[in-house]
A and B are shown apart, each in its own frame.
Chain A
Amino acid sequence: MLSADTKPRRTSGVRADSGLLNALHALQAEHGYVPRQEAMALSRRLGVPLARIFEVLTFYSYFRLEEPGRITLSVCDGTSCHLQEGPVLLKAIQALLGIGAGEATPDGAYQLNVVRCLGCCSCSPVLMVDDKIYSQVDPADLPGILKKHPPTAPKEAN
C-alpha cells in the first residue's frame, strides 16, 4: 500500500516519496555518507526533484553529506552523561584531536560526533568508538583508548 509512492503532500502539491528516507539510509549505509552523485541518481530513479532530496538530507541529523573519518568517536550527550562530566570529556577529545564535534581529522582517521543518549546511563560519561562502548571515561584515559584504535589506512577508491 505504501509502495504506491508518488503522492501529494497535504496542504500543497509538493511531490513526496515514502521510499525516500529508507533509500537515503541505504545509501549512507553503503558509503558512510550520501554522495551528491548518488543523490542525483536517486532523484532520477524516484522522480523526486533533487531539491526535495537535499532539503530532506539537511533536515535529518543522521544523514551526512561529507565523507566521515574512518574511526568514529561518539561522545554521549544524553542527560545523564551531560550531568556527569560528558561535556568535559568532549572538550578533552576536541583538544586532543584538534577538531570540533561533527568533524573529521584532516587525515580522515577519526570522526568526532556528539550523540544523544546511548542508553547506558549507569556508565556515564560514555564514549563509543565505532561500536565499542567505554564506560565512565576520564579525560586521562583518552590517549590509552585511542591507542586501542590506531588510525587505519584509507580505503582504496573503487
Chain B
Amino acid sequence: MIKLSVNNRDVEVPEGTSILDAAGELGIKVPTLCHFKLDDFDIENKAGSCRVCVVEVEGRPTLAPSCCTPATDGMKVKTNSVRAINARRSMLDLLLSNHPKDCLTCQRNLDCELQRLAGEMGLHQILFEGEQMEHEVDRANQSIVRDPNKCIMCRRCETACNVMQTVGILSAVDRGFDAVVMPTSKRSLDDTKCTFCGQCVQACPTGALTAVNRSYDVWRGLNHPAKFKVVQTAPAVRVALGEAFGMAPGSVSTGKMVAALRKLGFDRVFDTDFAADLTIMEETTELIGRLTSGENLPILTSCCPGWVKFFEHQFPDLINIPSTAKSPQQMFGAIAKTYYAEKAGIAPDNMLVASVMPCLAKKYEAARDEFAPNGIRDVDIVISTRELANMIKEAGIQFMDLDESDFDNPLGESTGAGVIFGATGGVLEAALRTAADWLSDEPIEDVDFTAVRGLSGIREATVTVAGKDVRVAIASGLGNARNLLEKIQKGEAEYEAIEIMACPGGCINGGGQPSIKGDTSILEKRRQALYVIDGDKAIRKSHENPSIQKLYKEFLGQPGSERAHKLLHTHYTERENA
C-alpha cells in the first residue's frame, strides 16, 4: 500500500494506482477527457494526451497527468492549485480554439464531454484563437457520421476500434497540428471494413463520431396519410430507454415505450422479440440438423449485423459456418410485409416498417442489398434507442406519466426466450431451450441455462441437451470474437455452437443505447432486467409462442421449409479486408 496526500488529505491506495484514482478514493474528481475506462472489459484508454487532468505534484518540475501518473509513497498532490487550474483551462481553451463552435446544432449538444467541461470551468472566452482544421464530414454510410473537425485526438475511438473490437479501422494519421483520427487511407467508412458496431460513437467524447439520425424520416413517414405504419422494438431497448428519462438503470419500460410509440402515431406497435422467437425456430432447426449429421460444426449465430460484417471482411474462410438465418429485425420485416400484410389486407409497398434498435449496425443491415426483395425493403427505417428517446421528448410526450400499454398482435406476442436476445448468451440459451425440448421425449422443466449467462467476454460451457453433451461458447465484443475464432482456426478449441455479439455485453451495450459513460455496472443492471422479464413470462420457449405456431401453420409450413428459406434466410459475401 502507498500513502499519499491529495489536497492535504491523506489516502492509502494499492501500488500502481493512478493519482486520478487515488483522488477518486477521497471523492475528489479530477476532470478528464481522453481517459476512458471500461472496468468489466479490461479496456482503458490511457493516452495521457488531452492534459486536462494535470495536477501539481510537489517536487516535480512539470505538472503531472493524473490519469497515467502512478501514485507514489509520500506524494503530495494538489488538484486545484492555481497553476493546475490555469493549465487545465488553457488546455480546454486550446481544444476549443480548434473546435467548431456549433454546439447548438451539434448532434452531441447537451451530451458532449467537451461542452460540459467548458461549462463547468466557466470558460467564457477563447484566449488563443487561430486556424482550425478543415476536413470533409463523412456521411456516406447508413450508421455513423464522422466529423473529423470535432476530433480532439483523445484516441478513445482508436482504443475502442483497435483494442476492444480489433476491427482496425480508426487510427491517428498525419502529425502535429494536422494529426487527426481517420479511417484507413482517409477513406470514407463505407469503403472500409468498419462493422458499424458504434462502439467508437459510444467512446467519443465530442461530436466527432455520432450516429446517423433518421428521426426526421420517421416523422415524415408517420405523417404520410396513406401509409400503414408499423414499428418493432428490439429486446434491449426496453431496459435502457428509461435512462433517457431519468429512470434508474435496469428499469423496465416496455409498457411506457409501447404507449409512447402509439402516441407518436404508429398504427401497430410490434415486438422484435416475436421475430427473435422466429429466429430460434429456424436457427435451432439448423443446429439440430448439423448436430445430427455432425457436419459443418460449429454453428455460429448470425443475428448481429456488426459480427456478420466482421467475418465477411476478416474471416472469409469461415463464411459457410454461421447460421443462414436472418436477424430478428430482418425476419420481422419479411413477415410483416408478407404474412401480416396479407392478413391485414395491406399492400406491402404501402406499409412502412420502422425499427427501434439499440444498435447502429442495424441501420446498415436494413440497407443491405439482399434485404429488398422485389425492390421492397424488409425494414424501411431504423432508429436507435437514443433517437426514440429524443423523438418522445420532441413530441412533448410525458414519458414518465404514460400508462403502460401492450404490444399489438400477432407480431407482438413473444416468449422469455425472445427477450434475452438482448444480452450476451441469450440467443444461445433460447436455442438450447428449444433444442432440448425438440430432442427430448418430454418438454424440459428447467429452462435456465445459467452457465451461458454473464458479462465476461468469452464464456465456454458444456450443456446437456437430451442427454447429450453440447459444447458451446459465447463471445461478446469483436476482440473476444477474434480470439475465439483464432482458437478454432488453430484447432485449439472445438464447439458445436457459438454465439457472437459485436458489442461487449451484447445489445444492451449497443452503439445506439444511452451512453453508459464508462460505468459498466449499468450494463449488468440492464442485463439482469432482461432476465427478470424472461422469468416473469408464462411462456419461456420460443416454439411455444402461439403466434409463432400459428404463423407456421398458416403460412410458413415447417421450420426450414422452402418458404421459410426464401423469407427468413440469407447469404454472406466475402468483402475486402482493408
Contact = CB atoms under 8 A, between A and B. Distances in A.
B174 interface: yes
Given A12-B162, A13-B163, A14-B162, A50 B172 contact: no
A36 interface: yes
Interface in A1-23: 11-14
B578 A58 contact: no
Nearest to B172: A55
Interface string A51-74: 110110011000000000000000
B390 interface: no
A58 B172 CA distance: 9
A51 B184 contact: yes
Contacts of B183: 51
Question: Which of B46, B162, B171, B479 has the most chain A CB atoms closer than 10 A to its own CB?
Answer: B171
Contact of B169 (A14, A51, A58, A59): A51
B353 to A, nearest CB: 36
Contacts of A11: 46
A84 interface: no
Contact of A52 (B46, B159, B168, B479): B168
A7 to B, nearest CB: 15
Nearest to B180: A58
Interface in A34-59: 36, 40, 43, 49-52, 54-55, 58-59
Contacts of A43: 578
B500 interface: no
Interface residues of A, number: 15
A77 to B, nearest CB: 16
A82 B29 CA distance: 48
A50 B184 contact: yes
Contacts of A54: 171, 173, 184-186
A54 B168 CA distance: 11
Contact of B185 (A13, A50, A59): A50
B161 to A, nearest CB: 9
Interface in B141-192: 159, 162-163, 166, 168-175, 183-186
A19 B46 CA distance: 26
B190 to A, nearest CB: 15
A13 B163 CA distance: 6
A43 B185 CA distance: 13
Contacts of B172: 55, 59
Given A14-B162, A51-B169, A58 B174 contact: yes
A145 B16 CA distance: 62
Nearest to B183: A51
What is the predominant secondary structure among interface residues of chain A facing chain B?
Answer: helix
Interface in B318-351: none
Contacts of B170: 51
A54 B183 CA distance: 9
A52 B175 contact: no
A14 B163 contact: yes
B163 A49 contact: no
A103 B163 CA distance: 36
A79 to B, nearest CB: 19
B184 A58 contact: no
A12 B173 contact: no
Contacts of A58: 173-175
Contacts of B162: 12-14, 51
B175 A49 contact: no
A49 B163 CA distance: 13
A54 B182 CA distance: 10
Contacts of B578: 40, 43, 50
A58 B178 CA distance: 10
Contacts of A50: 184-185, 578
Interface in B453-485: 479
B175 A51 contact: no
A70 B172 CA distance: 31
Nearest to B155: A12
Contact of B174 (A36, A40, A51, A59): A59
A109 B467 CA distance: 78
Given A11-B46, A14-B162, A40-B578, A49 B184 contact: yes
A40 B162 CA distance: 18
Most buried by B among A43, A51, A55, A59: A51
Contacts of A13: 162-163, 166, 479
B46 A59 contact: no
A12 B159 contact: yes
B529 to A, nearest CB: 32
Nearest to B314: A49
A13 B46 CA distance: 13
A58 B175 CA distance: 7
A54 B172 CA distance: 9
A158 to B, nearest CB: 24
Given A12-B162, A14-B163, A43-B578, A51 B46 contact: no
A55 B172 CA distance: 6
B376 to A, nearest CB: 37
B184 A36 contact: no
Given A58-B173, A58-B175, A59-B175, A51 B168 contact: yes
B185 A36 contact: yes
A54 B175 CA distance: 12
A117 B546 CA distance: 81
Interface of A: 11-14, 36, 40, 43, 49-52, 54-55, 58-59
23 contacts: A11-B46, A13-B162, A36-B185, A43-B578, A49-B184, A51-B168, A51-B169, A51-B170, A51-B171, A51-B183, A51-B184, A51-B185, A54-B173, A54-B184, A54-B185, A54-B186, A55-B171, A55-B173, A58-B173, A58-B174, A58-B175, A59-B172, A59-B175
Given A12-B163, A51-B168, A54-B171, 6 more contacts: A51-B169, A51-B170, A52-B168, A55-B171, A58-B173, A58-B175
Q: 6 closest Cβ contacts across the A-B interface?
A: A49-B168, A51-B184, A55-B171, A58-B173, A58-B174, A51-B171
